[in-house]
Structure 1
Amino acid sequence: MRNAGLGGWPARRARMSPHRTAFVSADGPLSYAAVHERTARLASRLREAGVRPGDRVAYLGPNHVAFTETMFAAHVLGAIFVPLNFRLAAPEIAYMLDDSGASVLVYAPECAERCAAATAGRPGPRTLVALESPAAGELHYETWLAGGDPTPIDTPVALDDIALILYTSGTTGRPKGAMLSHANLVWNCVNLLVGVDVTSTEVTLISAPLFHVAALNQTLLPTFLKGGTSVIMPSWDVDLCYDLIEKHGVTWMFGVTAMFAAFARSPRWPRADLSSLRTLMSGGAAIPVALIRTYQERGLTFCQGYGLTETAPGATFLEAGESVRKVGSAGVPVFFANVRVVRPDLTPVAPGEPGEVLIQGPNVTPGYWRNPEATAAALTEGGWFHSGDLATVDDEGHLYIVDRVKDMYISGGENVYPAEVESVLFEHPAVAEAAVVGVPDERWGEVGRAFVVPGAGAALTPGELQDFLLPRLARYKIPVYFDIVGALPRTGSGKICKPDLRAMPMPADPEERP
């Protein structure tokens, strides 16, 4: 087989374990043999549509088996897969299609209206494939795939060839397309399998969106590589999550803070049978220690990692054996990567001193698609990637993510890290979510503004929250403004969109700072 990339995985896995279940979805189970055949048929259709090595094939829609089939089929041909955030508006989708130059777009029915608006009057993509109800001139996914040639295609693909273009959240300016090579993805899987005891009998719940690097590269691809089963949820739903864990005996799941917080606050939490779960994994942002302990008190192993889209994503990981002793830590560098925490002059920080995280290794992006300026700014001599994240390191080398560099603010000459304040706010029993930003202040330069979402049926007041924080934080860290809100704005990857919070009109003047 000349395909050294992910395009060869369905054939290799079908050769080893054809009858094992690869995917479970609302449409039923799909074996590895079936995945191989369907991928081959779809690849032949993409080739008929003119897709060649290096061309871009895009997918727009919630989690679905078609996502994985389109990805693998593109990789069979040496093409580049471009998963798009289905929550975006039409102009944002149009920008990514134009920027990537995608020649084929596969889309879900939920996205039909935005797809039409994003592609109207544009030269590309030249081939539109709808999962359901195609418009005039479009193709129906299942019908098109079924008529494809099942004869395997063996296109030469090297590990250094680009496999994915993943657009960053775009919290500042236009989103950038982070390129990940097949080697980046393979090495990330190796690093993950070193840190997590994934088995061939794994039943992995894919509940976070697959267009996000963590759901795809930290759970689905390692499970596929090991020959386990991925249970695909279209989108996050607390009750469905409980149902699928019970029905399929889920052993492993990934989530972000909001997902795990909602899961633990469900009325089903006290009585649910979670005995099948071997590993819970989180990343993407610092997880409040109080939330991690909630899971540990249920006897569940909760492992936190740290990474970015540009590092495929795993950069550090806290293995199960250290998950209690080092609770709240993002762990140590993954096996095949180097991580440094440095001052602005690039000298190493002392234990406990915040600094920027730099990552180097075979999992690090070769750069941004058609954006040499951004590539040069992010990657410095020696291949070190500047994360823009702040962390501390303890005397045993474990990292603790503090915050984004740009989220830190200075109040009265003191550095304030919003993630620390958010973590303490989360300890309040009536707080479901919290986000803190710095806002201008004539006296202090900047002060904190907290946006707090109460739990179901709970009532909160700014005074109550301020009183809660007073004995727990230094006074300069306590927000001056407290906004009680129903929800927080989010990026496509589920992270809280702090630029939107900073742009909100200021409330009435607060009372004197405590």
Structure 2
Amino acid sequence: MRNAGLGSWPHRRARMAPKREAFTYNGVSTSYGEVAARTTKLAHQLRELGVRQGDRVAYLGQNHPSFAETMFAAHQLGAIFVPLNFRLSPAEITYQLADCGARVLIHAPSHVTEHPRAISLDAYEDWLSAGSDEPLDEPVSIDEPALILYTSGTTGRPKGAVLTHANLLWNTFNLMIGVDVATDDVALVAAPLFHVAALTQTLLPTFIKGGHSVIVPRWDVDECLDVIQGYGVTWMFGVATMYADLAASPRWPSADVSSLRVLLCGGASVPDAVIHAYQERDLVFCQGYGLTETAPGATFLEAADSVRKAGSAGPPVFFGDLRLADTGEIEVQGPNVTPGYWNDPVATAAAFTADGWFRTGDLGRLDDGHLHVVDRLKDMFISGGENVYPAEVENAITDHPDVVEVAVVGVPDTRWGEVGRAFVRPREGAVVDAVALREFLLPRLAKYKIPVHVQIVDELPRTGSGKVLKPALRGLPL
């Protein structure tokens, strides 16, 4: 095949195992042979709308097999796939569509858009079925752009991180080396697919190995437990919040999770209490570290070390390297690292050191070659001349048995410069008292690290990828 990119994957996999289940959604399964046929028809339909090599094809909607079909079809033509965060406002969506210059938008009917070449999923099946089944084999190099993924945009306008086919291929290799993905694996795809980890740490490795991906539209604890038991799910990816909610479910102690072989977690530092909740069930809980710009795997804690090094994000991935700058900032290099940001040479130049290492903006420390992520460089605050790392404080607070989740930010203080403010989400049915919580922390943290302000909340604001949106918390009045 002249197509060396992801667009060739459905056909390469179909010629090996055409009848094997590729995707299941809402009880309906699609085989690898069917995925190959459908993506060819879809690619022809996209070409009828003028899509050519290098053009952008956007997708807006919750998890659905059409997400993967659109991506593979775009890649058959050498086009660039742009998955959009369905939680964004119409103005934010409009900005990103304009910024990437999307030629076509495929979208869920719940998301109305003014794009001139928009295809609603209501019409998707009829539109796809009208496509030609003539084989396509456009020349696509692995060094060409495959994805534009917009960063969370916690400050200013979001940037479009470009990932090439090579970036995605090397990340897939790294993941399969770390996890030993097998052809009989069943993956639960519950994290949003517009988030790089759900796509590249779960769906793509499962696809290339010929495994079975069970796709659910959104994260729901009860549905997750039902799917794990009903389909014999062997592995999944989630962010810390997802795993905290799962372990806090009243169904958790009696849930049948015996099929699970490994749980992958990333996106933010994971509290020790969450890790231990899974290890107590004899489940392998493996944390990794990465960013959208690293496709995303930069480090990974393999199963063999998941207990001995619990809390660590592991050593660098097989095909990748990591170092710490004098400031403690984590810097990454490897074939999985983005070449830069879409149409933004200034941001691209600022993201790399003079000798070509990607600057993550995260602080870390190394222990026997294993990375411990201390905090975001910008999240650290100084109280009375002492550095305070919110992740450390959050980890101590979640040791409290009635706390499910917490976010700590620095806020101005006339005496100390800055002090901590904790937003605490209690376990369902539990009551957390602010004074008692600070007393709980006294033997666990230095006094200057203990938050002066404690606020009990029902939920925390989040980015589209599930991370807590700390800038929104900093702006709340005391």
Please, what TM-score do these two structures have when normalized by structure 1? 0.92
Query: How big is the shift at 1:27?
Result: 5.3
Matches within 5 A, 1:493-504: 493-504=465-476
**In 2, distance between residues paired with 1:406 and 1:83?**
27
Query: 2:266 — aligned with what?
Result: 283
Q: Is 1:425 matched up with 2:397?
A: yes
Structure 1 residue ranges, 4+ long, deviating more than 2 angstroms after superposition = 380-383
Please, what TM-score do these two structures have when normalized by structure 2? 0.99
In structure 2, which of residues 415, 436, 451 is the aligned counterpart of residue 443 of structure 1? 415
In structure 2, which of residues 194, 206, 218 is the aligned counterpart of residue 223 of structure 1? 206
Amino acid of the structure 2 residue aligned with 1:105: L
**Aligned residue pairs, count:** 478
Matches within 5 A, 1:340-379: 340-344=323-327, 355-379=328-352
CA offset digits 1:200-219 (Å, max 9, x no partner): 00100001000000000000
Query: 1:127 — aligned with what?
Result: 117
Query: How big is the shift at 1:174?
Result: 0.1
Query: 2:179 — aligned with what?
Result: 196
**In 1, distance between residues paired with 2:354 and 2:335?**
15
Q: Is 1:65 matched up with 2:65?
A: yes
Amino acid of the structure 1 residue aligned with 2:41: R
**In 1, distance between residues paired with 2:380 and 2:102?**
37
Query: 1:135 — aligned with what?
Result: none
**In 2, distance between residues paired with 1:222 and 1:107?**
25
Matches within 5 A, 1:331-342: 331-342=314-325
Query: How big is the shift at 1:19?
Result: 0.7
CA offset digits 1:370-390 (Å, max 9, x no partner): 000000000223321000001
**In 2, distance between residues paired with 1:416 and 1:440?**
13
CA offset digits 1:316-372 (Å, max 9, x no partner): 00000000000000000000001001214xxxxxxxxxx110000000000000000
CA offset digits 1:257-297 (Å, max 9, x no partner): 11101111111111111110000010111101111011001
Query: 1:458 — aligned with what?
Result: 430
**In 1, distance between residues paired with 2:381 and 2:298?**
26
In structure 2, which of residues 155, 161, 165 is the aligned counterpart of residue 182 of structure 1? 165
Matches within 5 A, 1:249-260: 249-260=232-243
CA offset digits 1:141-195 (Å, max 9, x no partner): 1111000001121000001000000000000000000000000000000000111
Q: Is 1:467 matched up with 2:450?
A: no
Q: Mind listing any 5+ residue stretches in structure 2 that lack a counterpart?
A: none
Query: 1:83 — aligned with what?
Result: 83
Amino acid of the structure 2 residue aligned with 1:424: A
**In 2, distance between residues paired with 1:240 and 1:451?**
28
Matches within 5 A, 1:105-116: 105-112=105-112, 115=113
Amino acid of the structure 2 residue aligned with 1:427: D
Query: How big is the shift at 1:301?
Result: 0.3
Query: 2:355 — aligned with what?
Result: 382
Query: 1:13 — aligned with what?
Result: 13
Q: Is 1:488 matched up with 2:460?
A: yes
Query: 2:145 — aligned with what?
Result: 162
**In 1, distance between residues paired with 2:448 and 2:22?**
52
Query: 1:269 — aligned with what?
Result: 252
**In 1, distance between residues paired with 2:210 and 2:355?**
36
Q: Is 1:205 matched up with 2:188?
A: yes
Query: 1:434 — aligned with what?
Result: 406
CA offset digits 1:56-83 (Å, max 9, x no partner): 0000000000000000000000000000
CA offset digits 1:443-482 (Å, max 9, x no partner): 1111000000111111112101111111110001000000
**In 2, distance between residues paired with 1:488 and 1:108?**
26
**In 1, distance between residues paired with 2:4 and 2:352?**
26
**In 1, distance between residues paired with 2:321 and 2:384?**
36
**In 1, distance between residues paired with 2:18 and 2:2?**
21
Q: Which SS does the other structure have where 1:37 is aligned?
A: helix
Q: Which SS does the other structure have where 1:270 is aligned?
A: helix
Query: 1:244 — aligned with what?
Result: 227
Q: Which SS does the other structure have where 2:372 is aligned?
A: strand
Query: How big is the shift at 1:126?
Result: 3.0
CA offset digits 1:377-431 (Å, max 9, x no partner): 002233210000011111x111101100000001111110000100111111111
**In 1, distance between residues paired with 2:439 and 2:468?**
25
**In 2, distance between residues paired with 1:100 and 1:156?**
22
In structure 2, which of residues 436, 447, 451 is the aligned counterpart of residue 479 of structure 1? 451
Q: Which SS does the other structure have where 2:19 is aligned?
A: coil
Q: Mind listing any 5+ residue stretches in structure 1 that lack a counterpart?
A: 120-124, 133-139, 345-354, 507-514
Identity score, percent: 65
Amino acid of the structure 1 residue aligned with 2:166: A
Q: Which SS does the other structure have where 1:458 is aligned?
A: coil
